Amino acid sequence: MYNSGMASDKDMLQAKQELTSAEAEERRIKEVFSIYNFSGNAYYQLKSPVSGFIVEKQISRDMQLRPDQSEELFTISGLSDVWVMADVYESDISKVSEGASVRISTLAYPDKMFAGTIDKVYHLLNSESKTMNVRIKLKNEEYLLKPGMFTNVSVKCKADGTSMPRIDSHALVFEGGKNYVVVVEPDQRLQVKEVDVYKQLSKECYIRSGLSEGDRVLNNNVLLVYNALNAD
């Protein structure tokens, strides 16, 4: 194109500079390959000092790795022991302490309960939610619990020496001056039960009687199911 006059001297100079730069990069890559005895199709094995699962990756195809790179390439987590972060309302802070036992359920495994203990209480309230964080430690030997998974935490609130289960407030149905919940039986049958509410908050409530530990309470479409069961 240059000889035919279709490219200017400026274009020619720019093309030569790009070629020189590309050749220099090629030489540099070959030098790196020779240092580590790489061939064109060679693989370099990265070994983690700990065993576990890759929960975060900061590497992509054709990415160049440098000796002075400070950013971690992979984040490895064991996941045999995990933490669950839970919120405690201000009115219930006095009832929570380190070492307290809790039971945890998940959307992924609704029929399975996980047992854990509160191993740390953060003595600071969130200014927006007015809640205090607690950290729950539990075993995850089957690796069922995953990072970022949403869980429901059942705590035992002690009042007057009585342990009471906690449920979501929207699981309650109020009718005729009484409170009811829909319980999911082990055989998946649905049953309406009257409950005595000890304390009700905006998002949760504590049940004095009517529920037993381990009872599964329906949280979705409660009123619709309640009306259908009563119609029968």
- The confidence score (pLDDT) of residue 83 equals 92
Residue 211 lies in a domain: yes
Report the percentage of the chain scoring pLDDT > 90: 16
> What CATH number did the domain enclosing 184 receive?
2.40.420.20
Instruction: Compute the distance between CA of residue 200 and CA of residue 223 in angstroms, rounded to an integer.
Output: 18
Residue 213 has pLDDT above 80, yes or no: no
Average pLDDT score over the chain: 82
| Domain extent at residue 212 | 165-232
Q: Are strands 178-184 and 216-217 parallel, antiparallel or unpaired?
A: antiparallel
- 58-72: pLDDT as tens digits: 888 777 777 777 788
Domain count, the chain: 1
Contacts 24+ apart (CB under 8 A), 146-150: 146/79, 146/108, 147/55, 147/77, 147/79, 147/82, 149/106, 149/108, 150/106, 150/107
> Does a structural domain hold residue 194?
yes
Q: Taking CA 151 as the corner, what is the angle to CA 147 and CA 156, rounded to the nearest 5 degrees?
A: 130
In a domain, 54, yes or no: no
Strands 166-168 and 204-209: antiparallel
Q: Is residue 158 in a domain?
A: no
